[in-house]
């Protein structure tokens, strides 16, 4: 079983639209949305939730005014300025470190388990999908990513599916690191802009550190041919295969507006055949 994780560094380069297109081309891959912070894949996949689970992670400090003597020790100890002068904890700022809980002389601070989000196992028209919604202002997105990837793997094994398609988050931080560990390969989707390539290079360096195999796709390559050529040359120097170049095409947006993949919207377009070629090269590399 293989797992392809689609990442980019920079947001908005087309990760989710391509993941959705691949879902239609693959043979019943298990879908996994690892962008738990601002997930979008469900907007095209229209998943029918079969099971919903609470994602419990960490604790939050809650001061009991009955027991609190307002000595101020917690305010001094808190590294996050999360406790105001009325001895209320701002849960957007609370790190869940428990320092105030342990060191309150009155034992006046409770530390309940935090529900940081939800995750789901769903059915879609392309097969099973595992996805999640991290609560607003929550941390531990990496842990939730690990959770959904683990579940996708379990389902793929049980169903004897040979592929997991994982839509990754933007950036190169905690949730991305959690998304790429143990993946068979990464598809880095970039665009021919200075920022797109700047960010993709940081993504490639991260992948390198984790020993992950990378392929590169240049989306909207015709927006700036000069920059596209620079990217291709640079990728070659880095020994990263450019597996496809896709034109700027409003098709992606039009399909998204209707909650469809580009193949469902207009399978006869030239962009679709280019995406299909891209997909064939990816599956070749994956050995599928």
Partner 1 sequence: MIIGVASGKGGTGKTTIATNLVAAVESDVRLLDCDVEEPNAHLFLKPEIIETRAVGTFVPEIDIERCNFCGDCVDLCQFRAIVLLKDDVLTFPELCHSCRGCQEICSQNAVKDSSRELGTIRIGRKNGIAFTEGRMNVGEAMAPPLIRAVKQTEAACDTTVIDAPPGTSCPMIASVMGSDFILLVTEPTPFGLHDLQLAVETVKRLSIPCGIVVNRFDEGDDGVFTLAENENIPVLLKIPFDKKIAETYSKGRLLVEENPSWRKPFAEMHRRIENIVKGNRA
DSSP state of 223: G
Residue with tokens 């996805």: 131
Contact between 142 and partner 1 by CB under 8 A: the answer reads yes
DSSP state of 169: P
Answer for which of 13, 26, 146, 179 binds partner 1 (CB under 8 A) is: 13
Q: Are 90 and 84 contacting, i.e. CB atoms less than 8 angstroms apart? A: yes
Give the 3-state secondary structure of residue 115.
strand
Dmax (CA) of the chain: 72
Q: How far is residue 277's CA from residue 236's CA, in Å, rounded to a whole number? A: 20
Contact between 79 and partner 1 by CB under 8 A: the answer reads yes
DSSP state of 221: G
Please say which residue, 132 or 163, places its beta carbon nearer to partner 1.
132
The token pair that represents 254 in the structure block: 């039009």
Please say which residue, 127 or 175, places its beta carbon nearer to partner 1.
175
Q: Are 55 and 119 contacting, i.e. CB atoms less than 8 angstroms apart? A: yes
Contact between 165 and partner 1 by CB under 8 A: the answer reads no
What DSSP string runs through 79-109? TT--B-TTS-B-TTT-----HHHHH-TT--E
Site string for partner 1, 36-55 (x = CB under 8 A): -xx-x--x------------
DSSP state of 31: E
Q: How far is residue 209's CA from residue 146's CA, in Å, rounded to a whole number? A: 19
Please say which residue, 2 or 131, places its beta carbon nearer to partner 1.
131
Please say which residue, 173 or 182, places its beta carbon nearer to partner 1.
173
Contact between 250 and partner 1 by CB under 8 A: the answer reads yes
Give the 3-state secondary structure of residue 23.
helix
Q: Interface with partner 1 by CB under 8 A: which range of 46-54, 124-132, 189-197, 280-288?
A: 189-197
Answer for which of 3, 151, 167, 199 binds partner 1 (CB under 8 A) is: 199
Question: Which residues 84-123 are close enough to bind partner 1 by CB under 8 A?
Answer: 92-93, 95-99, 102-103
Answer for which of 28, 123, 162, 259 binds partner 1 (CB under 8 A) is: 259
Give the 3-state secondary structure of residue 43.
helix
Q: Interface with partner 1 by CB under 8 A: which range of 24-32, 62-70, 175-183, 266-274?
A: 175-183
Contact positions toward partner 1, by CB under 8 A? 9-13, 16, 37-38, 40, 43, 58-59, 77, 79, 92-93, 95-99, 102-103, 134, 136-139, 141-142, 169-177, 191-196, 198-199, 202, 205-206, 209-210, 223-224, 227, 248, 250, 253, 256-257, 259
């Amino acid at each position: 079983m293989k797992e392809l994780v689609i990442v980019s560094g920079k947001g908005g380069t087309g990760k989710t639209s391509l993941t959705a297109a691949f879902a239609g081309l693959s043979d019943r891959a298990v879908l996994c949305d690892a962008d738990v912070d601002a997930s979008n894949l469900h907007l095209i996949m229209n998943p029918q939730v079969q099971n919903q689970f609470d994602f419990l992670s960490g604790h939050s400090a809650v001061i009991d005014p009955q027991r609190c003597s307002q000595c101020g020790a917690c305010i001094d100890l808190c590294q996050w300025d999360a406790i105001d002068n009325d001895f209320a904890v701002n849960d957007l700022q609370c790190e869940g470190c428990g320092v105030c809980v342990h060191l309150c002389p009155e034992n006046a601070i409770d530390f309940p388990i935090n529900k940081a989000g939800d995750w789901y196992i769903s059915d879609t028209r392309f097969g099973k999908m595992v996805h999640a919604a991290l609560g607003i202002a929550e941390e531990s997105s990496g842990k939730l990513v690990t959770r959904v990837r683990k579940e996708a793997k379990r389902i793929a094994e049980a169903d004897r599916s040979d592929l997991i398609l994982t839509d990754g988050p933007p950036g190169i931080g905690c949730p991305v690191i959690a998304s790429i560990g143990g993946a068979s390969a990464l598809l880095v989707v970039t665009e021919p802009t200075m920022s797109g390539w700047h960010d993709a290079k940081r993504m490639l360096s991260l992948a390198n550190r984790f020993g992950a195999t990378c392929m590169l796709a240049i989306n909207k390559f015709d927006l700036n041919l000069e920059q596209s050529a620079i990217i291709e040359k640079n990728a070659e120097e880095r020994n990263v295969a450019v597996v496809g170049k896709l034109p700027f095409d409003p098709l992606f947006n039009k399909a998204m507006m209707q909650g469809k993949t580009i193949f469902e919207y207009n399978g006869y377009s030239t962009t679709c055949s280019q995406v299909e070629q891209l997909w064939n090269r990816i599956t070749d590399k994956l050995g599928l």
